């Protein structure tokens, strides 16, 4: 019965079943699919990059250059083929204050320093800590991100030139109404219908690309008056020029840019590594966290020297790529090169694409990204997990992704600590020699140390007491202090106490309290966790 319930719970909290084969052969057909998928991603990147540049208060080309350079470098060297990176709203909302106060040159310097910090994180293998993010946090992350993507698309339902873009949507501006609104909604619905129906007929062409093409053709042939990409801004420009940030090389400059660089580096890595995990769930791939940190860092260093605003992984575009069949690095490289070609030579063609087509694509991304099964399991999973899912979703929408993930991890960790703190207890019995034995069960750490001390009856116990830790785990310094406190109480009462099944490290730390430990043959001699990660030690074991 218990196994059946556990299986039901495990099945209920999985991500949407979008997995593919973990190994994808690079055939001619796959290469063609990757190129077409890259084209689809590039088309979707244009309005996103322009909008995020507006958020940061910089020229649209600064966002487009970042999307090209970050996307190209991470596609080549990143930790997960199929991931797409570029300028993102989560970073843009942090940059806006820096640009407003100090100018765009300080932004470029900050992006370079941000990249250096990410390179350091990759070199130190800090990316492995992303495994500490619990599954409920991942569910809240994708749900909140889906809502953020949806809200960001509402920009396109306002009259061009009257809106102010923010990280989570729009402010100001007049909403479309009447016939223009009907036309816009109809074109969005047409795009979504094509994306939904085409895979049931053929997979030769990626469905999002076909949706954009069909909707654009309808608009051009019928001459419909509807907002186009060119209404946002002109994307025409040249190749990104090499440019050393024009900031004074002084300590004052470091004091200005370092806080922003730290925040941007942290947000960028958290978003990128969570996207890495999500794409890994979909494609059956594992690992690559440190490699992704290094790639993101290198990309941002280069971007800062070529007039870009920096960036990180983009879950929306990554979803478009994977769902369109993009599986290898060719897809990300193609997306970046197509984006550059749009800037250099194809801007007139791209600028006539209706925004409704791109909104339809992103709406389908929202539907595919949101973990709909999380709504069904809210009343089946433990209350703490349900709370974390909702909390992370809400914080993602109203704050940002990085803060939401940190909050979710902290709440989950506190809940875990509280649950384990209540597990400490002891079985007692008396030996034929008259000694009382406490068989401690449950982890002994800072959360359960008080409960551990309360287990003992110092006054009523006989003259000899044995504490057996065979079924317990001594985790931290608080646990050692609790053991020493109990031992001191028995010593003060004139009674002897022996501690058994502790590691040799515990023996050494407790030696100053006197002859408290019985070195029996079954006392383990654990290796320190820092030396042998697979085994456990005093601060990760007994």
Model pTM score: 0.72
Question: CA 150: distance to chain centroid?
Answer: 18
259 within 8 A of 303, measured Cβ to Cβ: no
Which pair of tokens denotes residue 296? 């993101």
Task: Identify the CATH number of the domain defined by range 422-513.
Answer: 3.30.750.24
Give the residue range(s) of CATH 3.30.750.24 domains in the chain.
Answer: 422-513
500 within 8 A of 467, measured Cβ to Cβ: yes
Which pair of tokens denotes residue 523? 């006392």
Per-residue pLDDT reduced to its tens digit, 274-322: 888 888 877 777 778 899 999 999 999 999 999 999 999 988 888 888 8
C-alpha 34/C-alpha 41 separation (Å) is 10
pLDDT at 221: 93
pLDDT at 342: 92
C-alpha 452/C-alpha 131 separation (Å) is 30
To which H or E segment does residue 473 belong? strand 464-474
Quickly tell me which residue has 């806080």 as its tokens. Answer: 259
Q: CA of 282: how far to CAs of 54, 83, 275, 289, in Å?
A: 32, 11, 11, 16
pLDDT higher at 7 or 103: 103
pLDDT at 397: 87
Phi-psi region of 467 (alpha: psi -120 to 50; beta: other; left: phi over 0): beta
Determine whether 258 is exposed, middle or buried from the number of CB atoms within 10 Å of its CB (0-12, 13-18, 19+): middle
pLDDT tops 60 at residue 9: no
Quickly tell me which residue has 């350079």 as its tokens. Answer: 69
C-alpha 214/C-alpha 510 separation (Å) is 75
Tell whether the torsion through CA atoms of 47, 48, 49 and 54 is positive or negative. Answer: positive
Average pLDDT, the chain: 82
pLDDT higher at 45 or 25: 45
Average pLDDT value for residue range 473-489 = 84
Which pair of tokens denotes residue 471? 């079924």
Which pair of tokens denotes residue 174? 């007049």
Strand, coil or helix: 314:
coil
pLDDT at 504: 67
- In 128-202, the DSSP E strands lie at 164-166, 169-171
pLDDT higher at 421 or 112: 112
């Amino acid at each position: 019965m218990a196994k059946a319930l556990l299986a039901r719970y495990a099945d209920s909290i999985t991500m949407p079943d979008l997995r593919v084969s973990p190994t994808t052969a690079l055939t001619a057909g796959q290469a063609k699919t990757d190129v077409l998928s890259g084209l689809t991603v590039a088309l979707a990147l244009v309005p996103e990059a322009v909008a995020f540049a507006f958020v940061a208060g910089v020229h649209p080309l600064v966002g487009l250059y970042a999307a090209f350079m970050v996307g190209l470098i991470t596609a080549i060297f990143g930790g997960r083929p199929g991931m797409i990176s570029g300028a993102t709203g989560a970073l843009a909302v942090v940059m806006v204050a820096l640009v407003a106060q100090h100018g765009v040159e300080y932004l470029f310097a900050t992006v370079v320093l941000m990249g250096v910090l990410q390179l350091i994180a990759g070199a130190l293998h800090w990316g492995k800590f992303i495994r500490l993010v619990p599954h409920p946090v991942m569910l809240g992350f994708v749900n909140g991100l889906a809502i953020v993507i949806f809200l960001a698309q509402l920009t396109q339902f306002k009259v061009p030139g009257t809106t102010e873009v923010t990280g989570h949507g729009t402010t100001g501006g007049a909403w479309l109404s009447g016939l223009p609104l009907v036309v816009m909604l109809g074109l969005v619905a047409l795009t979504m219908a094509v994306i939904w129906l085409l895979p049931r007929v053929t997979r030769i062409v990626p469905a999002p690309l076909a949706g954009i093409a069909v909707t654009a053709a309808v608009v051009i042939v019928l001459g419909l008056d509807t907002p186009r990409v060119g209404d946002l801004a002109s994307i025409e420009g040249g190749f990104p020029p090499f440019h050393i940030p024009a900031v004074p090389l002084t300590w004052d400059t470091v004091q200005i840019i370092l806080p922003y660089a730290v925040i941007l580096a942290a947000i960028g890595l958290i978003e990128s590594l969570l996207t890495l995990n999500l794409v890994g769930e979909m494609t059956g791939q594992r690992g690559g966290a440190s490699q992704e940190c290094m790639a993101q860092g290198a990309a941002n260093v280069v971007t800062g020297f070529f007039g870009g605003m920096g960036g990180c992984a983009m879950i929306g575009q990554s979803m478009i790529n994977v769902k369109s069949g993009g599986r290898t690095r060719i897809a990300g490289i193609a997306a970046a090169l197509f984006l550059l070609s749009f800037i250099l030579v194809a801007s007139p063609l791209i600028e006539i694409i209706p925004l409704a087509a791109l909104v339809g694509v992103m709406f389908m991304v929202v539907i595919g990204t949101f973990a709909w099964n999380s709504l069904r399991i809210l009343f089946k999973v433990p209350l703490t997990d349900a709370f974390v899912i909702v909390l992370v979703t809400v914080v993602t929408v109203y704050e940002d992704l990085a803060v939401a993930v940190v909050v979710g991890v902290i709440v989950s960790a506190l809940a875990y600590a509280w649950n384990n703190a209540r597990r400490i207890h002891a079985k007692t019995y008396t030996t034929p020699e008259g000694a009382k034995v406490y068989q401690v069960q449950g982890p002994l750490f800072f959360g359960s140390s008080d409960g551990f001390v309360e287990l003992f009856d110092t006054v009523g116990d006989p003259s000899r007491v044995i504490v057996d830790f065979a079924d317990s785990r001594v985790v931290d310094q608080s646990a050692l202090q609790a053991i020493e406190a109990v031992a001191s109480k028995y010593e003060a009462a004139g009674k002897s106490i022996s501690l058994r099944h502790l590691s040799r490290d515990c023996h050494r730390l407790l030696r100053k309290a006197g002859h408290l430990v019985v070195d029996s043959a079954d006392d383990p001699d654990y290796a320190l966790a820092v030396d042998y990660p697979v085994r456990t030690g005093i601060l990760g074991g007994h």
